[in-house]
Amino acid sequence: MPYNRAHHRFAIFTAGATFCLLIAGALVTSNDAGLSVPDWPTSFGSLYKIPHMIGGVRFEHTHRMIAEFVGVLTVVLAIWTWRVDKRRWIKALAVGALGTVVAQGVLGGLTVLFYLPPLISSAHAALAQTFFCIAVAIAVFTGRRWVEEVPEVELDSRRPSLITLTLLSILVLYVQLILGAMFRHHGMSWWPHVVNAPVAALVLTWTAVRALAVYARIEAVRRPAILLLGLLITQLCLGFVAFLTRVAWGRDAVQPELPMVISTVAHVAVGALLLATAVVLAIQVWRHVPVAFAERVPEGGRRVVAA
Ligand code: HEM
Ligand code: HEM
């Protein structure tokens, strides 16, 4: 299949716009602006009029407008992918992205209509990052390297395998995300999130160190592994600052204060980048480092073959 530059660039743009949308959403939560626009799918009774952008309405309505824009981008991306891409699985992924963005919009609306219940708000936070990961994955799969290059492959005979470690990293990051979201949306105490942080840090470090120690030669694996480590360190520092501004100092604040808003929004944003990087690493490991498994051959010897 030929590489399609315009399609790939559009996929990158959609992923970039989604990242901005995540920041806009996090600003709504951090500024306690979730109910500033009380109705949905209308905003103050209208589907298209822009309300007076004052107080929390600035955050909530801007978030809705960017969400609509990303929704349109996703529709275009899905149609474009169906028209130009011959791979059936990527067509399915593009339709999956469309389904996810619709579900995400509905969750956003429901959380307003039910006055921000923790479960719905947390589901909205978790699905947001899932959608971001799908958009990033589509950008990777449509890239020149993915489409045109013959991948460099090395068999992995270690246990646990690197692909297992990357999948475990994604799992612990999801647990971390859900626990963080439940705390942020007042559905749970802060300590399960903070207690799970060292577990997540350990699994991610193990994954990145294994990738770098054994497969640093493969650029597609080396780059996300280095990024994963850098983002992890940043995220732990931001988590610490978010804890200070939100829990230690901000407990009795009468309204959201700037240091708290900045640190918590940055913590959400870097959390999303971390999850997306873990997904990209898993994708590249799956492509470049397939698992080797021992197969018994009739003479009683062992032969190592690729999965
Ligand atoms: C379609 C794509 C959308 C994405 C990717 C998205 C993403 C996000 C994100 C990342 C947050 C912050 C969560 C957090 O910081 O914990 C958020 C919050 C929020 N979003 Fe969305 N959103 C989308 C659509 C919508 C729509 C259509 C609405 C309609 C009302 C909406 C309403 C809200 C509200 C009210 C909050 C604050 C929730 C709270 O403080 O409890 N979102 N969104
Ligand atoms: C690998 C490490 C970590 C990851 C991936 C992570 C991720 C996250 C995410 C994604 C959220 C927001 C969830 C949402 O969208 O609603 C969050 C919230 C939070 N995290 Fe972390 N976190 C990590 C470590 C830490 C650490 C070490 C601390 C504290 C020492 C911490 C403190 C917090 C706090 C206080 C919040 C809530 C902020 C608020 O209420 O606005 N995090 N975390």
Q: Give the number of the atom of ligand 2 that is nearest the alpha carbon of residue 236.
A: 27
Residue 54 has a pLDDT of: 96
Lowest mean pLDDT among 211-225, 244-258, 282-296: 282-296
Interatomic CA distance for residues 133 and 129, integer angstroms? 6
Same domain assignment for residues 112 and 215: no
Residue 292 phi/psi, 5-degree rounding, is -95, 140
Q: Which amino acid is at 57?
A: V
The beta strand positions in 98-209, using DSSP E, are: none
Residue 298 has a pLDDT of: 61
Residue 94 alpha carbon to ligand 1 centre in Å? 21
Same domain assignment for residues 128 and 163: no
Q: Give the number of the atom of ligand 2 that is nearest the alpha carbon of residue 184.
A: 40
Q: How many residues belong to the chain? A: 307
State which of 149, 164, 195 marks the end of a domain: 149
Same domain assignment for residues 205 and 133: no
Residue 177 alpha carbon to ligand 1 centre in Å? 15
Same domain assignment for residues 93 and 174: no
Interatomic CA distance for residues 235 and 159, integer angstroms? 28
Residue 166 alpha carbon to ligand 2 centre in Å? 20
Range of the domain at 44: 1-149
How far the first Cα of the chain sits from its last, in Å, is 25
Ligand 2, residues 184, 186, 270: which to mutate, most atoms within 8 A of Cβ? Answer: 184
Residue 252 has a pLDDT of: 85
Q: How many domains does the chain have?
A: 2
Same domain assignment for residues 137 and 163: no
Same domain assignment for residues 98 and 223: no
Closest protein CA for atom 11 of ligand 1: 25
114-168 per-position pLDDT tens digit:
999 999 999 999 999 999 999 999 999 999 999 999 999 999 999 999 999 999 9
State which of 117, 133, 149 marks the end of a domain: 149
Same domain assignment for residues 132 and 275: no
Cβ count within 10 A of residue 301: 7
Lowest mean pLDDT among 106-110, 131-135, 291-295: 291-295
Residue 302 has a pLDDT of: 52
Where do runs of H (alpha helix) occur along 142-161? 144-148
Residue 303 has a pLDDT of: 53
Interatomic CA distance for residues 245 and 262, integer angstroms? 10
167-205 per-position pLDDT tens digit:
999 999 999 999 999 999 999 999 999 999 999 999 999
Least distant ligand from the CA of 37: 1
Answer whether residue 28 shows pLDDT above 70: yes
Residue 20 alpha carbon to ligand 1 centre in Å? 12
Same domain assignment for residues 242 and 109: no
Least distant ligand from the CA of 40: 1
User: How many Cα neighbours within 13 Å face the side chain of 150?
Assistant: 0
User: How many Cα neighbours within 13 Å face the side chain of 228?
Assistant: 31
User: How many Cα neighbours within 13 Å face the side chain of 94?
Assistant: 28
> CATH number for the domain including 124?
1.20.120
- The conformational region for residue 300 under phi > 0 = left, psi -120 to 50 = alpha, else beta, is left
- Kindly give the pairing relationship between strand 292-296 and strand 302-306: antiparallel
Ligand 1 pocket residue status of 184, Cβ below 6 Å: yes
Answer whether residue 20 shows pLDDT above 60: yes
Residue 239 alpha carbon to ligand 2 centre in Å? 5
37-96 per-position pLDDT tens digit:
999 999 999 999 999 999 999 999 999 999 999 999 999 999 999 999 999 999 999 999
Q: Which residues line ligand 2 (CB under 6 A)?
A: 30, 125, 173, 176-177, 180-181, 183-184, 190, 193-194, 197, 200-201, 232, 235-236, 239-240, 242-243, 246-247, 264, 267-268, 271, 274
Answer whether residue 307 shows pLDDT above 60: no
Sorting pLDDT into bands at 50, 70 and 90, what band is 296? low
Closest protein CA for atom 3 of ligand 1: 67
Residue 153 has a pLDDT of: 94
Residue 293 has a pLDDT of: 76
Closest protein CA for atom 13 of ligand 2: 181
Answer whether residue 286 shows pLDDT above 80: yes
Same domain assignment for residues 305 and 197: yes
Same domain assignment for residues 145 and 155: no
Same domain assignment for residues 14 and 48: yes
Residue 1 has a pLDDT of: 78
- In the three-class reduction of DSSP (H, G, I as helix; E, B as strand; rest coil), residue 277 is classed as helix
Residue 292 has a pLDDT of: 86
Same domain assignment for residues 219 and 306: yes
The beta strand positions in the chain, using DSSP E, are: 292-296, 302-306
Residue 294 phi/psi, 5-degree rounding, is -80, 130
State which of 103, 122, 149 marks the end of a domain: 149
4-18 per-position pLDDT tens digit:
999 999 999 999 999
- Two structure tokens written together for 166: 């990357």
More confident residue, 252 or 84: 84
- Two structure tokens written together for 286: 């799956």
